[in-house]
Structure formats: C-alpha cells, structure tokens
Structure 1
Amino acid sequence: MKGSLIAARGKKCCTLYKASVSVCKGGLNAAEDSAIDMWHRRLGHMSEKGLQLLARKRLLPDVTGTPLKTCLDCLSGKQHRVSFVKTASHVNKVHALDLVYSDVCGPMRTKTLGGAMYFVTFLDDASRRVWVYALKS
C-alpha cells in the first residue's frame, strides 16, 4: 500500500505474499523514439547524413523530416583526455637500450608445455621493441 493507493492484494504464506494477478493486455504507455533515432542506434550510431543516404537508396524506411536527437553515447565517445606534458626526465631515449622497462608476471595457474609458470618482459624505450621470456621459477 502506497499512501492511500492499493497497488496489490495478497495472502501471506510464511515469509512470502501470494497474489493472484492477471495479465493486462490493454495498451501500454511506452515512449517510442523516432525512426531516425532507432536506426541511428541499430546501425552503430551512424551519422544523420548516412541515414538519409540509406533512406534515399530505399534501404531504410523514410527517416527524413525528423532531425536526429542529441545522442549521449556519441558525445561521450568523442571525448578525449588531455595528453600528458612530457617532462625533460621522460623524453624518449634516442639510442637503443638507453632505457629498458621490465616486468615479471606469475605464477600462472597453468604451466606452459615447457614447464614455465612465469614470464618476464623487456621493453626498449627508444625502439619500442619488446622481448618476452618464459621462466620456470
């Protein structure tokens, strides 16, 4: 019961309420998007010009006349982060092996065919070349 409005009636059976309900097959109040908005989403957020081109080629139902609403997914997909400013201490090195990054991963749940449970990576900052080696222990 919400305020003075009764939403449903039922009998309490242990810790649950048992309600006898029937399915209402009447009209539903559903908000419908325009055809152009629906096709915009279905076709991977295609542009309005692209949708109108498909409609002219009779590959889509007529979507002209209704402008495409602002799509929040498209707006958030076009956002980007501001790039970091490179400081003098982190300028890429010119010569190979001047600066090498390394990382060890493991133990892995499953051993490799050679019996390794770890691996180590080396990344050269100048060439961006990567080496990966398997380790048994």
Structure 2
Amino acid sequence: MSNKMERILAYIASGWQLLDGIITIFIYGTYIRNKGSHISGLSFEEKKGLESLFGSIYSFVSTYGILLILLGLMTIYMTRTYLKNDSVPKRVPIWFLICGVVSYFTMDIISLVLYMGAAILILAKNRSIKIHTRLNKFKGEIK
C-alpha cells in the first residue's frame, strides 16, 4: 500500500511547523522585544524592570519558535526515513501522536489536525496491512 497521503500530510504539517516557528521568532519575538522599549513616563528603575521582563518573554518566545522548527525538521526526517510504501512503521505514528498532543496543549489547531490525521491514516493502513499479511499466510497454510 502506498503511504502517499500520509507523507503529504506530514510534509504539510512540518512545513507549517517551520513557518510557524519562523513567524514566532522573527515577527512575534521582535514585536515583544520592541514593545518593552517604547514605554514612556516611567522612572529609570521601572523602565529597566520592564525591559528585563520583556527580554525574558522574548527569550521564551524565541525558545518556543526554535522548538517548533526542530519539531518540523524532525518530522521531515522521520517521514523520509521510516515512512516507506508497503511497510508498517512503528515510530512514525507515535511521533505524530506526540506532535499532535504538543500541538493540542499549545493550541496550534492546524498542526493538531494535520498530525492526528496522518497518525490515524497510518494506524489504519498498518492494521489493514497486518490483516492482509495474516490472511495471505493463512491461505498459504490451507493449500
């Protein structure tokens, strides 16, 4: 059986993860960083405290963006390495389910739908491949 649909969903999900990570770091991160420097009417201590707070938020946002990029790259690697035609991969659906759960907790609905869809398709095809293999084995024993 061909795993073309799962590969397409996995590549779309990983592309979205990469794009989302880049947007998070370069657009949202710089917005947060600049937001802290444009506050006026504060004393020197208050301004330094807010700059420190916004710097910490920027670090967290950048770390999250890097995590998204790493998830996307790892998905590409797992898809290319383990998701072959007529095979029953064990690691790939588990990886997709983990990415789906992470996407659920971070409220990334697009990734959640793509990863869970790919995982469900792979698990369903794996089940049909196993049943087909057992049926052929059983037919061979009857003859």
Name the TM-score, length of structure 2 as normaliser: 0.21
Q: Which has the larger radius of gyration?
A: 1
Indicate the structure with greater strand content. Answer: 1
Q: Which has the higher contact order (CA 8 A, sep 6+)?
A: 2
- Whichever structure has more helix as a proportion of its residues is 2
Report the TM-score when normalising by structure 1. Answer: 0.22
